[in-house]
Amino acid sequence: MTARPIGVEVACDGPTGGDNCPDSAAIRARITSRTARQVRADGRADGWTTRRTPGRLLDLCPNCCHTRTRAPEEPTR
């Protein structure tokens, strides 16, 4: 038997990009999606957004992209 990869799952990076998605959302890959680029294109059709940050991409589900998208500021003393 030969095992073959069946594709890529892209998960939401949460409303601030540094925490988990409150709904534990992940893009539902279509049967023809095999690469991360194809899965992200599927996600855009479902309302997902992608933001570029230094060194990586942040993927936000429809719920998190309407929530605050910046990390909370440190309190000043």
Name the pTM for this structure.
Answer: 0.64
pLDDT in tens, the chain (77 residues): 776 666 677 888 888 767 778 777 787 767 778 788 888 888 888 888 888 888 888 888 888 887 654 544 455 55
How many C-beta neighbours within 10 Å does residue 64 have?
25
What does DSSP assign to residue 52?
Answer: E
Q: Looking at residue 69, what is its pLDDT?
A: 46
Please give the backbone phi and psi of residue 11, each rounded to the nearest 5 degrees, phi first: -105, 155
> 53 forms bridges with which residues in the sheet?
56
